[in-house]
A and B are shown apart, each in its own frame.
Chain A
Amino acid sequence: MMAIRLRDLSACFEGVIPSIIATAAADGSPNISYLSHVVLVDDERIALSNQFFSKTAANVRANPAAAVLVVDPRNGEQYRLDVSFEQTLDSGELFDEMAVQLRASSAQLGMGEVMRLRGVDIYRVSALNAVPSPSTVQAYSPATTGPQLAAMAAVSRGICQASDVDSVVDSVLEGLQTLQYGNAMLLLTEPDSDRLVTIGTRGYERSGIGSEVVIGEGVIGMAAQERRPIRISDMSRVQRFGSAVQTSSAEENRTRTISLPGMPDAMSQLALPMIAQGTLRGVLFLESCRRLAFTREDEAALSIIAMQAAAALALAGDESGEAQPVSSLVATGATKPGGPIRVVHYAYDDSIFIDNDYLIKGVPGRLLIYLLRTYLREGRSEFSNREIRLADELRLPDVKDNLETRLLLLRRRLEEKAAPVQLLHVGRGRVRLELAGPVLLDKAAGGTD
Chain B
Amino acid sequence: MQINHDIAVFMTSPVMIVLGTSDDASQPAIGRAIGALVQKDEGSIDLMVSEWQWPATVANVRANGRLAATFARPSDYVSFQVKGRAAVLPATAEHLSSAARYVERITATLEGLGLDGRIVTPWFVNRDLVAVRLPVDEIFVQTPGAKAGQLVERQ
Say yes or no: is A63 at the interface (Cβ < 8 Å to chain B).
yes
Task: Please give the distance in Å from B43's CB to the nearest CB on chain A.
Answer: 19
Q: Collect the chain B residues with CB atoms within 8 Å of residue A77's CB.
A: 122
Please tell me if the beta carbons of A76 and B123 are within 8 angstroms of each other in the complex: yes
A136 to B145, CA, bound (A): 36
Chain B binder among A19-27, A326-334, A340-348, A354-362: A19-27
Task: Please give the distance in Å from B118's CB to the nearest CB on chain A.
Answer: 7
B49-85 contacts to A (CB < 8 Å): 52-54, 64, 66-70, 72, 77, 79, 81, 83
Say yes or no: is A147 at the interface (Cβ < 8 Å to chain B).
no
Chain A binder among B2-10, B13-21, B96-104: B13-21
Say yes or no: is A31 at the interface (Cβ < 8 Å to chain B).
yes
Name the CB-closest residue of B to A135: B121
Please, what's the 1-or-0 string for B112-130, where 1 marks a CB less than 8 Å from any CB in chain A? Answer: 0010001111110101000
Interface size on A, residues (CB 8 A): 41
Please tell me if the beta carbons of A22 and B123 are within 8 angstroms of each other in the complex: no
Interface of B is mostly: mixed
Total inter-chain residue pairs, C-beta < 8 Å: 120
Please, what's the 1-or-0 string for A51-94, where 1 marks a CB less than 8 Å from any CB in chain B? Answer: 01111000000010111110101111110101000000000000
Q: Collect the chain A residues with CB atoms within 8 Å of residue B22's CB.
A: 22, 24, 28-30
Say yes or no: is A335 at the interface (Cβ < 8 Å to chain B).
no
A65 to B144, CA, bound (A): 22
Please tell me if the beta carbons of B29 and A76 are within 8 angstroms of each other in the complex: no
| Contact of A131 with B53 at beta-carbon distance under 8 Å, contacts A31-B81, A34-B77 already known | yes
Which of A22, A34, A69, A132 is most buried by chain B, counting CB atoms within 10 A of its CB? A22
Please tell me if the beta carbons of B70 and A52 are within 8 angstroms of each other in the complex: no
A31-63 contacts to B (CB < 8 Å): 31-34, 36, 52-55, 63
A54 to B150, CA, bound (A): 10
A69 to B32, CA, bound (A): 10
Please tell me if the beta carbons of B122 and A78 are within 8 angstroms of each other in the complex: yes
Q: Collect the chain A residues with CB atoms within 8 Å of residue B29's CB.
A: 22, 67, 80
A31 to B83, CA, bound (A): 8
Please tell me if the beta carbons of A30 and B21 are within 8 angstroms of each other in the complex: yes
| Contact of A29 with B83 at beta-carbon distance under 8 Å, contacts A22-B29, A67-B29 already known | yes
Q: Collect the chain A residues with CB atoms within 8 Å of residue B140's CB.
A: 55
Residues of A bordering B, CB below 8 Å: 20-24, 26, 28-34, 36, 52-55, 63, 65-69, 71, 73-78, 80, 82, 113, 131-136, 236
Please name 7 further chain A to chain B contacts, defined as beta carbons within 8 Å, in addition to the given A20-B18, A33-B142, sorted by A numbering: A26-B26, A29-B68, A29-B83, A30-B21, A30-B67, A32-B69, A78-B123
